[in-house]
Amino acid sequence: MIEKDTLEALQESHSIEAANNNITVNGVAALPEHYKLHDVEKWMGARRRAIGVMKTSSVEDFAAYVDQHAETGATVFVNADAMRAVAVLNLGGPDLPGHADNTAEFAPKATAAFSALQHIANGQPRSQQEVAEFMEDWPSMVSCFNDEGTISPAKAIAAVRKVTIEAMRKMESQEKQLSASRSAFESVQATSTEPLPTLIYFETVPFHGLQSRLFVMRLGVRTGGEKPAITLRIQNMEQHNEEMAKELTDLVGDAINTLPVLIGTYNPK
């Protein structure tokens, strides 16, 4: 009669042999619960296969790396929302799918001017000083307008700095039979000794490698606090994002003409 320990040792021996010989059914091997697999790849003379992520902000280096390391079925996916292109180098095909874990990523770097624009013109209230300093930092890219026409940047900056709040409040009450009503109104007006712009044009290259683009910002003044707050909001930003994504796709497609370039993302499951 075979003892329990001996039986377990024999079962484990068979499991180890099956694992070493890669005797599997549909990629699955039956092993004991306490059996631990060890990966000895780091002690081998060479890796079994290429795995990793290459990242760059240069489309030329991205294209060179992809051309050198692309395997069967390699495809480039452009994420329009993230402004990023990812090349899955070992995607494979339907008959022989790859592991899809060897990739290259290209993310164009935003210019300093566009980064400053995104920070200041997100619709959030900003102090007069913040908005004025933004306009002072990028004078060659700024053009200002109101209903009367063009305003010089110097006058527009002075207007932003000199905005004040004038408020008036009046209360009226009237008592009527079986009911009481009270009406109140508050008139708050932002004024400046200089003409205040309502539209600010800002022209810049948003990302390295893309074309120069004109962004139109609408200027607003919030007067709910003790001091006025300035809001800047880029008009039609969604359209800008779509057009920049199309530019990015064309940029990648021109650099890599040996692989399919698709708009979208790929998530290996």
Predicted confidence band of residue 96 (pLDDT cuts 50, 70, 90)? confident
pLDDT at 185 > cutoff 60: no
Distance CA(188)–CA(184), nearest Å, equals 13
* Whether this model's pTM surpasses 0.85: no
Q: Which amino acid is at 254?
A: D
Residue 6 is predicted with a pLDDT of 65
Query: Which tokens hold the place of 258?
Result: 């040996």
| Predicted confidence band of residue 183 (pLDDT cuts 50, 70, 90) | very low
127 CB neighbour count, 10 Å cutoff: 13
Tell me the C-alpha distance between 158 and 142, whole Å.
Answer: 14
For residues 156 and 162, give the distance between their C-alpha atoms in angstroms, rounded to a whole number. 10
Task: Give the rounded percent of residues in the chain with a pLDDT score beyond 90.
Answer: 53
How does DSSP classify residue 46? Answer: S
Place of tokens 């070992």: 90
Please tell me the distance from the alpha carbon of residue 233 to that of residue 215, in angstroms, as a whole number.
10
pLDDT tens across 102-140, in order?
999 999 999 999 999 999 999 899 999 999 999 999 999
Burial of 157 (0-12, 13-18, 19+ CB in 10 A): buried
End-to-end CA, the chain: 48
β-strand partners of 53: 103
Beta strands 199-204; 179-191: pairing state: unpaired
What is the separation of C-alpha 15 from the centre of its chain, rounded to a whole number of angstroms?
Answer: 48
Collapsed DSSP state (helix, strand, coil) of residue 135: helix
Give the whole-number percent of the chain exceeding pLDDT 70: 75
Q: Which two tokens stand for residue 183?
A: 């009406």
**Is there a contact between 255 and 68 (Cβ–Cβ < 8 Å)?**
no
Least confident of 57-66, 98-107, 189-198, 232-241: 189-198
pLDDT above 80 (res 150)? yes
What's residue 186's pLDDT? 44
* CA distance linking residue 130 with residue 160, whole number of Å: 10
Where is 181: in which H helix or E strand?
strand 179-191
Cα separation, 263 vs 268, whole angstroms: 16
CA angle 157, 140, 198 (to 5 degrees): 40
What long-range pairs does 133-138 form, CB within 8 A, spacing at least 24? 135/160, 135/200, 138/113, 138/202, 138/204
Backbone angles phi, psi at 214, to 5 degrees: -100, 120
Phi/psi for 233 (5° steps) reads -135, 130
